[in-house]
Each structure stands twice: as structure tokens, then as C-alpha cells.
Amino acid sequence: MKKLLAALVLTLGTVAVAQTEEPKQDPNSPAMQEQKRNEGRNLGTGIDAADVDKKIGDVANKAEDKLGMDSAKDGTFKKDKAFTLNGTLKGQAFDGITLARQGLPDADLDVRKETQVMLDGKKVDLKAIPEGAQVRASFQLEGEEIVAVELKATTPKATKKTTK
């Protein structure tokens, strides 16, 4: 959707500033004579292309707000607007995690410095969450990115080994 809006802005902006080339006409034609009489006058449309571009940008931003595509400055980390999902920690990377979900595709979430990370009710670093931990993630959409707002993990229960 964001790409579509960007293409629309680019297309309309280009059309607004494009100049059309007039075909060559006979200098004695009535149209050319009228044009010569009007050359001294400054006729304009009254529309500045810069204003058109700004208006298009404003409309695109309003559309993004309605679709929930926030940016960090607009409130990506507002918990009251966050979505949630549950899964098992499958892997970690420098800037994110992958959660395995039963019967659904894996979910990749970006983890930022503003993301709250909890393990068994205590605030921890992301690296402290072990693979296999159950995770409840609150997230927001930032453009096409899925950004974790809060991660609440539970340490996986160890399997008991019996000795004989």
C-alpha cells in the first residue's frame, strides 16, 4: 500500500510539473497571431506545482495514519495500539527475533532499543531469552516492518531426567 501511494505521489507530481511541447504552427495562422498578442501578458493557472506536491504528500500521510502505518516519531511504541501474537522463540538475530507459531507461518519481528523485553516478569536483555521460550509479543506496523513493542517470555520447562 505504501508503494502504491508513493507511485501515485510520484506520478501526480511529475504530471503537475511536466511541460507539454506545442506543435509547430504556421506563423500567419490565427492561433499564432493571438499568441503573439498575448506574449506581453502573464497568463497563469494560479496553481503552483510545489503546492500540488505538498498537498499530495499530506493526503498520503493521512492515508498512512488511517491504515496504521506509524513511524517511530508518530507512536510505534504505544501499547494501546499494539497487536499481539504468541509463539515459541525459534531464533534471534542482531535486530530481531523469529517466533514459531503452531499452524501458522513463522513471525519475524524487529526488536529496537525501545522494545521492552521481559523474562519471567523481569526486565532483561534480548539475549537472555533462551530458544524454545514461550513468547507473547505486542507489535506495531511501521510501514512494512513489524516492530516489537513488548516481549514477555517464559523460561521453557526443562525435561526431567530420571536415573536408574
How many Cβ atoms from other residues are within 10 Å of residue 53's Cβ? 17
Mean of all residue pLDDT scores within the chain: 76
CB of 96 within 8 A of CB of 110?
Answer: yes
59 three-state secondary structure: helix
Q: What is the pLDDT of residues 16-39, one digit of tens each?
A: 555 444 556 677 788 777 777 777
* Model pLDDT for residues 71-101, shown as the tens digit of each residue: 555 555 666 678 899 999 999 887 899 999 9
pLDDT band at 69 (very low <50, low <70, confident <90, very high): very low
Please tell me the distance from the alpha carbon of residue 36 to that of residue 40, in angstroms, as a whole number. 8
Q: pLDDT tens digits, residue range 127-146?
A: 999 999 999 999 988 888 89
Is the CB of residue 111 less than 8 Å from the CB of residue 125?
A: no
Task: Indicate the pTM of the whole model.
Answer: 0.51
Q: What DSSP state is assigned to residue 46?
A: S
Instruction: Read off the pLDDT of each residue in 111-137 and give the average, rounded to a whole number.
Output: 92
